[in-house]
Every structure is written in structure tokens, then in C-alpha cells.
Amino acid sequence: MENPNPLIISAIVAMSENNVIGKNNQLPWHLPADLQHFKAITTPHTILMGRKTFISIGKPLPNRINIVMTKDHAFRAEGCILVHSIEEARKWAIDHHLKEIFIIGGSTIYQQWMPYLDRIYLTIVHDQFAGDTYFPALNTHEWQEITRETHPADAVNPYAYSFLELTKK
């Protein structure tokens, strides 16, 4: 019998044209439109991040359930749910009747969750950046672009960017 309430697993990520998503545990660009986009998509839902991403943010993101996935059983994150595996995270989400969770990084977490993703909300920053953290390469045979909005650079957003929604084929 098919699950009447399947859990949708989505990733949300901003990356440069050369797949960079971070440098020194920070975004290598400042793009206010992308931060607004991220907030609009993830609020009031559940987000899942790795320990390093949580540390770089410094606190739980407001108006969302924050799950931190870490192998470190001694790690504590006030105001967050802690899980230690994909299986534990999925079980928690299903037990709490969630419809969707958003994977928000970092690189290792995206890599681990890639086989389970149903959807990717992708911001492409139209420039090349130096970085030390990358989003995994997407297999174009596995993903279908559903929507794309392209925006030029402006006085507030110094880089051109595109918002894409991809679903698994």
C-alpha cells in the first residue's frame, strides 16, 4: 500500500557557476534577493543542516524547525533537534507527520542526501568564485528543470542570478 503522506525531501542551495557554495564557512557573495528567496521558501517549514552550517549561522533560524545532523554525539545546539543519521532524520520527520523537509547544507550533507532528494531549489549566482565548499555535480539525466527566473545585477544585488526549481525525473 502506498504511503498516503509521503515525505518530500528538498534541497535549497545557492551556488556559483563553478559550483562553489562556501568559503571559510561563509557564503562568498552577498545577495539579498537570495536570502529573501531562501526565507520565503523555508518558512515556516523544517530545515536540516550539518553541524558546521549550524555553527556558521550561529543560532536556529526563526520560524522554522531546525534539525542538525552530526556524527558528534556530544554536540549540543539549543533550540534544535539533533540527529545522527539520515535514517534517524527521516524517522523523526515521518513520526512528526511532516510533509517536507529542506536540506540547507553544507556540502557533506548535500552529498549524503542527494540520493533521497525529490526537489532542488537552486540559486545560480552568475559568476565564478574561489571557494572551499562545493555543491555536488547534478546528473542532468536525473533532474528536470520546472521553473527558472533570471534576474540581472542591480544596486542591491551585485551579481546576476537565477532561481531554478528542479524535480527528480
pLDDT at 4 over 80: no
Instruction: For the chain, list the domains and their CATH numbers.
Output: 8-168 (3.40.430.10)
pLDDT at 1 over 70: no
Mean pLDDT, rounded, for 1-13 = 81
* pLDDT for 5: 62
E-state strands within the chain: 8-16, 20-22, 46-50, 65-69, 81-83, 100-103, 119-125, 133-134, 143-151, 161-168
**Residues 10-68: tens digit of each pLDDT:** 999 999 999 999 999 999 999 999 999 999 999 999 999 999 999 999 999 999 999 99
* pLDDT for 94: 96
Q: Grid cell 502506498 — which residue?
A: 2
Contact between residue 121 and residue 10 where contact means Cβ atoms under 8 Å apart = yes
Q: Which three cell numbers stand for residue 45?
A: 517549514
